Amino acid sequence: MSFALFIIGPFLVVGWISAFRASSDIKEEVGKTMLQLVRQNHLTIEKTLSSANDTTVAFLNNQFFSDPRQYAFWTGIETLAEMNEADRILERLSADGTEYTLYMKNEENLRPVVDTAYKTRGFKYTDDRYSGLPAWAEETANDGGKASIRRIETASGAGTVAFMRSILHPVSYERSIGLLVVSKLEVLLMEDVVSVQLPEDTGIFLLNEKEERLMQVGMAGGGGNGNGNGDEAAYPDDVRTMTEGYRFVKESGGEWLYAFSYRPKFDTRLIYKIPVASIMGGQTAFQWTIMIMSAVYLLLVLSFVLYLLRLILKPLARLISITKIYEPGKKLDFGDTPLRKDELGILYGAFIRMTKRLDQSVEENYGMKIKQKETELSTLHSQITPHLLYNTLDSIYWYAIDSGNRNVGEMVKDLSKLLRIGLSKGKTIITIGEELEHVQAYTRLQMRRYPDAFAAGWEIDESATKFMTPKVVLQPLVENAIFHGVSGMDGEGEIRVRVERAGDEIRMTVEDNGFKEADVGMLQAIVEGELTDKGYGIRNVQQRIRLHFGERYGLRYEKREGGGLQVTVVIPAWEDER
């Protein structure tokens, strides 16, 4: 009775608890696995959307921004030949199964020979208010060129996933002149979704930032595109608000696993809804089988343990006594007694080897601490050098002021400021205010170096100066504007620096009125890394901005209205809260 109470009873209780704990752990591991799967699937979907985005950006750049003749072609289509040429251009983009439709405002009141209102794709004219088009047309036009993904209806009434963006005027960016819509994206997205093997009765849902159901596979969708109706359209709050994760939810008479991922690049959310019963299988029956078998074999194990105790206790006691007196770094004499060839002998030999390795680690750690101290002293010494330089420059500044040479003093002061902010005590991110102090000091030095050669103007939004930027991003741009734009203009040159906040972005612009014709395409190719044998300075600025903030930010070159060149730096409005 006592044997059953104190030996078998606790063993069965522990086995019961362990079985249910194992079931819980398995569920958690399945949740983590499904989360990893939904992440990878979402990345694949995002690559497909990025491909569509890159294609539309390249199309708009080539057809509307880079070549005035192409812009004149698209805004002046009137004849049947021109209409057919426009359709052929758009048809070539549709080779992957998608359909491209370009809605162009008829601002010239042209009278095309074909009424485009009856066309289902290709080139179509529309009025200034996009009359006859659904609400998404005006919403997209008001997004300022930002890409959006919506679920729309085709001319036949069928639902389709569309990637759309507004076509901005090449000169007046605040004005929309048309829309570019890529429909039937589900042809590509479906390949990304169904490539993932998931348990039976699983539902996969793709949502946009408006929580519109873009796609649905499985569940009520039947392997196609769901319309957002049905009980499965309701998701737990965590699924709607959190960036990613997984949740087990009891609903509809069963337990479901939600695994979800949010990607900010296109504001999409991918959700897996998986019945737990389909992934757990016969886990419960297997647990009961294990418990019964454990109880049967317990008696055999206990009898064998009693036998082993006689062989183990004595040598184990010796090992324990050695363990108590051992200290790392203290050599022990283990004698010359040969080791036993059984498991205990292996354990004893492993302990001896472990103590030797530990002694060696203690010696190595001591040496590393000495080297660390030497490194700290070297670091402190290196910090003395810039500090001594700043003090020396300050002494020169006050000496120049006391001697009545204020111009020299101000130049030394600007040089000191240039060095202090440029080094920034090793920091790579500084405030926009500090960045402006740096570039203003540099500009003043150049204006004193080349007196009456050019003028500089500053338009600063003070509310933007508190946000953070990688250091030394404006100085290379101002330097290029001086030496390549206005250096030979005999006092007629002008450089203007603007800093403004636009929503959640900061835009810093450097422009000049230089008379030399600049190759904007070559400059943009340097920025994008397509040309690597020149333009190291601006390419370095672009790489550092994208390293800190991502691919959507960086430099953009364009010709300045009235002559000259301007470059715009776009970064997020990020404030360091430390």
DSSP notation for 382-439 = HHHHHHHHHHHHHHHHHHHHHTT-HHHHHHHHHHHHHHHHHHGGG-SEEEHHHHHHHH
Structure confidence by residue, pLDDT tens digits, 554-571: 999 999 888 889 999 999
Mean pLDDT of the residues in the chain? 80
Residue 162 CB partners (closer than 8 Å, separation 6+): 149, 150, 151, 152, 181, 182, 183, 185
Q: What is the b/e burial string over 240-264, where b = at least 16 CB atoms within 10 angstroms of the residue's CB?
A: eeeebebbebeeeeeebbbbbbbbe
Structure confidence by residue, pLDDT tens digits, 197-213: 777 788 899 999 888 89
Residue 187 CB partners (closer than 8 Å, separation 6+): 96, 97, 98
Q: What local confidence, expressed as pLDDT, does residue 387 receive?
A: 42
Q: Tell me the torsion sign for CA atoms 75, 76, 78, 84.
A: negative
Q: What local confidence, expressed as pLDDT, does residue 528 receive?
A: 87
Q: Tell me the torsion sign for CA atoms 511, 514, 520, 526.
A: negative
> Is 50 exceeded by the pLDDT of residue 232?
no
> Is 90 exceeded by the pLDDT of residue 380?
no
Inter-residue contact 445 to 415 (CB < 8 Å): yes
Could you tell me which residue, 418 or 510, shows the higher pLDDT?
510
> Which of the residue ranges 76-90, 236-250, 298-312, 408-422 would you say has the lowest mean pLDDT?
408-422
Structure confidence by residue, pLDDT tens digits, 388-406: 454 555 556 555 566 666 6
As a whole number, mean pLDDT of residues 423-450 equals 82
- What CA–CA distance (Å, rounded) separates 48 from 50? 5
Q: What local confidence, expressed as pLDDT, does residue 390 receive?
A: 47
> Is 60 exceeded by the pLDDT of residue 450?
yes
Q: What local confidence, expressed as pLDDT, does residue 223 receive?
A: 42
pLDDT tier, 486 (very low <50, low <70, confident <90, very high otherwise):
confident
% of the chain residues with pLDDT over 70:
75
As a whole number, mean pLDDT of residues 303-315 equals 67
Q: What single-letter DSSP state applies at residue 342? A: S
Q: What local confidence, expressed as pLDDT, does residue 228 receive?
A: 41
> Which of the residue ranges 4-8, 139-143, 353-357 would you say has the lowest mean pLDDT?
4-8
Inter-residue contact 134 to 153 (CB < 8 Å): yes
Q: What is the residue type of 247?
A: R
> Is 90 exceeded by the pLDDT of residue 253?
no
Q: What local confidence, expressed as pLDDT, does residue 514 receive?
A: 87
SS3 string of 255-321? EEEEEEEEECCCCEEEEEEEEHHHHHCCHHHHHHHHHHHHHHHHHHHHHHHHHHHHHHHHHHHHHHH
Per 3-state DSSP, what percentage of the chain is helix, strand, and coil (rounded to 5)? 50, 20, 30
Angle formed by the axes of helices 343-402 and 406-423, nearest 10°: 170
CA angle 371, 374, 375 (to 5 degrees): 90
Enumerate the CATH 3.30.450 domain ranges in the chain, comma separated: 51-181
Q: What local confidence, expressed as pLDDT, does residue 460 receive?
A: 94
3-state secondary structure of 104: strand
- What CA–CA distance (Å, rounded) separates 122 from 107? 19
Length of the chain measured in residues: 578
> Is 90 exceeded by the pLDDT of residue 231?
no
What phi, psi does 571 have (nearest 5°)?
Answer: -135, 160
> Is 60 exceeded by the pLDDT of residue 3?
no
As a whole number, mean pLDDT of residues 354-382 equals 66
Q: What single-letter DSSP state applies at residue 560? A: P
Enumerate the CATH 3.30.565.10 domain ranges in the chain, comma separated: 439-572
Architecture of the domain delimited by 51-181? 2-Layer Sandwich (3.30)
- What CA–CA distance (Å, rounded) separates 445 from 91? 56
> Which of the residue ranges 87-96, 389-398, 439-448, 490-499 would you say has the lowest mean pLDDT?
389-398
> Is 70 exceeded by the pLDDT of residue 2?
no
> Which of the residue ranges 126-130, 196-200, 341-345, 419-423 would you say has the lowest mean pLDDT?
419-423
Q: What local confidence, expressed as pLDDT, does residue 464 receive?
A: 92
Q: Return the H-helix or E-strand segment holding 78.
A: none
Using a 10 angstrom Cβ sphere, with 0-12 exposed, 13-18 middle and 19 or more buried, the burial of residue 381 is exposed
Q: What local confidence, expressed as pLDDT, does residue 21 receive?
A: 77
As a whole number, mean pLDDT of residues 259-277 equals 90
- What CA–CA distance (Å, rounded) separates 150 from 148? 6
Q: What is the residue type of 515?
A: F
> Is 60 exceeded by the pLDDT of residue 4?
no
5: Cα within 13 Å, side-chain hemisphere: 2
Could you tell me which residue, 350 or 273, shows the higher pLDDT?
273
> Is 50 exceeded by the pLDDT of residue 112?
yes
- Global pTM exceeds 0.85: no
Q: Return the H-helix or E-strand segment holding 500.
A: strand 493-502
Structure tokens at 93: 């983009």
Q: What is the residue type of 494?
A: E
**Closest residue by Cα to residue 278 from 200, 204, 196, 198:** 200
% of the chain residues with pLDDT over 90:
29
Structure tokens at 174: 């605040």
Q: What is the residue type of 196?
A: V
Q: What local confidence, expressed as pLDDT, does residue 377 receive?
A: 45
Inter-residue contact 359 to 329 (CB < 8 Å): yes
pLDDT tier, 451 (very low <50, low <70, confident <90, very high otherwise):
confident
Structure confidence by residue, pLDDT tens digits, 152-190: 987 677 889 999 999 999 888 888 999 999 999 998 998
State which fold the 439-572 domain adopts: Heat Shock Protein 90 (3.30.565)
- What CA–CA distance (Å, rounded) separates 19 from 52? 49
pLDDT tier, 384 (very low <50, low <70, confident <90, very high otherwise):
very low
Structure tokens at 215: 């796609």
